[in-house]
Each structure stands twice: as C-alpha cells, then as structure tokens.
Amino acid sequence: MSDEPIRVLLADDHAVVRQGIRQFLEDSGDIIVLAEAADGEEALRLVREHRPDVAVLDIQMPRASGIDVARAIRAERLPVGVLILTAFDDEPYVRAVLQAGANGFVLKTADADDIVEAVRSVHEGKSVLDPAIARRLMTQLARSEDDRLPIESLTEREVDVLRLTARGYTNKAIGAQLSISDRTVQGHLAKIYGKLHAASRTEAVMRAVTLGLIPPVLTDDPPT
C-alpha cells in the first residue's frame, strides 16, 4: 500500500455536513480533505485545479448537481474517482449516478467506517454501491428485463473480463490476469456495455448478476 494519503475533494452545500464528513475521513489516518466546495460549479473548478484522488459529491447542490459534476469529470477524462454521498436513494437517482460514470453511491445514513471504506475502495478502482441500494436496483432490473432490448450473448473471454471487473480489478490488473493488453481489456468492456445495454462498469456488473452471468459479488480484494 502507498504511504501517500488519499486526497479528497468534498462537496456539499451544507457546511455542518461537510465538517462532520471531513472529521471522520481525516480521523481515518490515510485520507486528507484538500478542498471543500459548497456548490457544483465550485466543485468542478476545484477538481480541475487540485486533481484529487477521489471527489465525494452530494447529489443536490446549487449551480450544478453532483451528477452534473460526475458527468463533466468523465467527459474531460480527469483521473478522479467519484463517490456520490447522498440522502436520496430513489431508483431514478441511482440510475442517473451510474449513467454519469460515478464509481460509487453511498447513503449519508451509512456508518462513518463504511463511508471511509467506500472512499478507499473508489481510490483502488472498485465500484461501490450501498447494499440496500444494490438490492433494490437489482430487483428493479430483474423486473424490467422483459421490457429491455434483447441481451446478446457474451463470449467466454468477455465473461472472464466482467467477472474480474465485478471483483474490483482495474483494466491493468485484468490484463495481467488474462495475459492481454489494457487496450484489449478496454475493447472487451466496450463490447460488454453494448451487449448488456449498460452505461458503466457498475451497471454492467449488476445486469450480469441479475441475468446470472456472473456470481453476485460487486467487489473483492484487488490483485496484489
């Protein structure tokens, strides 16, 4: 593990909430909050300026939502993990977060230790979803499968890539496991997204779990 602390940008329009989150993140010993933002536009400006390891964003903020910020981070290909931390757990919010390319979605009601662990997991390249939200979304996906476009079968290699993706492996780690290049892994993931009608790694994994293509495991220890 690196001795460097995980550098976090924290964005929430309530100063008291930011203060509480900042305290337990920094109390963890391996996380520092290098900047805070009270609205979405300020959050994006600070992300561009500081390039944090992880941006922890509320969904509903003035001037731009956390979803807008996540979408902009991905559009600009900034190397920043995105964790949405919010009180909203409605299914449309969850779908919007996943489609925006966020790496994780955790409720503010989660234990402080769980939020700290979510930041660490996003920093490691894992997908993180609050367990209660994951169960609800997977049920919704299962109910709506009949209304979706037909799912094209995955190749054996695509299933291998997806299984490692579900365990939180990065593209580089997947390539090392399967003896293929990072670019080839990226190509497989693009095909997987198209076949499963998914907009993100997390959504592809959840749809594959719902369809029984891979075991119901969202994350696991990354390779050493």
Tell me how far apart the alpha carbons of residues 1 and 75 are, in angstroms, rounded to a whole number. Answer: 29
Q: What is the pLDDT of residues 121-146, one digit of tens each?
A: 899 888 787 766 666 665 555 555 54
Asked whether residue 29 is assigned to any structural domain, the reply reads: yes
Residues 158 and 99 in one domain: no
Mark whether 85 and 184 lie in a shared domain.
Answer: no
Do residues 22 and 52 share a domain?
A: yes
On whether residue 203 sits in a domain, the answer given is yes
Which tens digit of pLDDT belongs to each residue from 154-197? 899 999 998 888 877 888 889 999 999 989 999 999 999 888 88
- How many other β-carbons are positioned within 10 Å of the β-carbon of residue 150? 7
What is the value of pTM for the model shown?
Answer: 0.63
Longest dimension (CA), the chain: 50
Domain of 89, CATH number, reads: 3.40.50.2300
- Alpha-carbon separation of residue 100 from 30, 48, 96, 212 (angstroms): 28, 17, 6, 25
Q: Which structural domain, as residue segments, surrounds residue 112?
A: 6-139
The answer to whether residues 51 and 127 belong to one domain is yes
Answer with the one of 94, 113, 139 that is the final residue of a domain: 139
Residues 105 and 160 in one domain: no
Task: Output the pLDDT for position 72.
Answer: 92
Residue 95 falls inside a structural domain: yes
> Residue 135 has what pLDDT?
61
pLDDT higher than threshold 60 for residue 76: yes
Residues 161 and 113 in one domain: no
Higher pLDDT, 128 or 209: 128
**Residue 94 within a domain:** yes
Axis crossing angle, helix 91-99 with helix 131-144, rounded to the nearest 10: 90
41, 152: one domain: no
Is the predicted pLDDT of residue 208 greater than 90, yes or no?
no
Taking the C-alpha atoms of residue 213 and residue 74, their distance in angstroms, rounded to an integer, is 27
- At 73 the pLDDT is 93
Domain check: are 28 and 116 in the same one? Answer: yes
Pair 128, 154 in one domain: no
Q: In the listed set 103, 119, 139, which residue is the last one of a domain according to the structure?
A: 139
Whether 65 is covered by a domain: the verdict is yes
One domain for residues 134 and 68:
yes
Number of domains in the chain: 2
pLDDT at residue 212 in the model: 73
Give the pLDDT mean for 66-94: 85
Question: Which of 139, 169, 199 represents a domain boundary (last residue)?
Answer: 139
pLDDT value, residue 161: 93
Q: Are 22 and 123 part of one and the same domain?
A: yes
Q: What pLDDT score was predicted for residue 138?
A: 57
- Angle subtended by helix axes 201-210 and 182-196, to nearest 10: 60
Phi, psi of 180 (to 5 degrees): -135, 165
Residues in the chain: 224
Examine the domain organization and report whether 101 and 172 are in the same domain.
no
